[in-house]
Amino acid sequence: MKDMMSLASVSFLLFLVPLLAFVCLLKCSRSLKESLHYGWKCLERYPDLWRIPLLFSLSYAIFNILAYNVVPDRMGVHFNPWRNPDPNAPWISKAFLETFWPAAENMSGVFNYLVATFPLSCVIGLAYLLDIRGIRSELHKTIRRRFPRFGFFIALGILVTALAALLKPVFFLALHPLAKQSSGWDILRIGNVVGTVSFLFEYLLATFLQVYLVLMAFAWVRDLHFDRSSLLHLSLRRLGYVLKWIALISLPGFLILAASFFFTNTRSYETLNDFVQSLMIPVFTIVTLVMASVQITLTLHNESLHQAIADHFHFLHVHFWDMVLFAIAGILLFWQLKILLYVTQLVFGIYTVTGFSAELLEAALRGLLGGWLLAGWVCLYRHWSGGKSKIPF
């Protein structure tokens, strides 16, 4: 009995390694401590910085539970009693290895796209098509001003992607009934088209929310007062400066989704999935982490993409360790959440009340953590760009 309790204690401490490493990092870096401290104060002043990421994270988790687990298989949700995992299975090492890249991807999102906007992108797509609060008119005006030669076609393309975003969740939930009525491959091909086009709107929306939250945090740093409606329109105007960067970093994901349209068998999809999981996601995560300050530079300063990239490498040269320590700290915190979710669902089961509750709790904490890190990142960046000209509010 004592041996089992000591083993459980050791396992518990092992699962807290990322959190303990974060605490050590916090004690060693003054800039990290100050940026996170000010980031938290920023969250207290403007709760939208954590409410918006939390809302989108929870919405995605709830839709994922319903669409992937409960609805298609009509699985009964039940509560499993505590059960010990197989002692011969390397589940402790798997808990660390299988959760690292998702945690690193979450941290890269702090610099580029904080939230997964699906399925709420459906609601935003409808608001965009109906031009509620003038969001479509403002964005189209910005695009025509920034891209006078191709602005009309870009605006038209966004309208098409918004329509696809409106259809995607409806089509997704109806996938199983539709597949029973006609050819499964035909339905899958149509779904790929809708999903690929919708992906562009979801990415654009995620970037817009990123710009909006960055500007909100930056207003707190500069002690500025603003009306939320005015900030919304300012974010739409600033989005025009970020469009080239969005197009550049979203292109690999779009090409992968588009390529899947030509597949004709299940094995092709499995090969593509293995390629994405083993190579594409790690490479994309590393690139977005390395290029961390490009998007915030485009958001806060009237610069070209070329100049923003040049400024980013200047930042790396001067403030390399500040950025690296901040990125590592964020990865450790996201990693801790992923590990605890992995272990909870392994012990209690995924399709249980406990497993679903753990997934929802992790989504909520991830949203809160993402908002905190984003506000801290804005505070840290502000120290570097103190002498640069800034956009007027």
The pLDDT of residue 172: 74
Residue 225 lies in a domain: yes
Residue 390 pLDDT: 59
Give the Cα separation of 194 and 189 in Å (integer): 9
Q: What is the pLDDT of residues 30-82, one digit of tens each?
A: 889 999 999 999 999 999 999 999 999 999 999 888 776 554 454 444 444 44
What's the pLDDT at 333? 96
Number of domains in the chain: 1
Q: Determine the pLDDT at residue 47.
A: 94
- Extract the residue ranges of the chain whose pLDDT is less than 50: 1-8, 71-72, 74-84, 86-87
Give domain status of residue 5, yes or no: no
Dihedral over alpha carbons 264, 266, 271, 274 (to 10 degrees): 140
pLDDT score for 216: 95
Residue 264 lies in a domain: yes
pLDDT, residue 243, reads 86
The residue range of the domain holding 143 is 28-384
**20 within a domain of the structure (yes/no):** no
The span from the CA of 195 to the CA of 189, in Å, is 10
Q: Is 203 exposed, middle or buried (0-12, 13-18, 19+ CB in 10 A)?
A: buried
Residue 17 lies in a domain: no
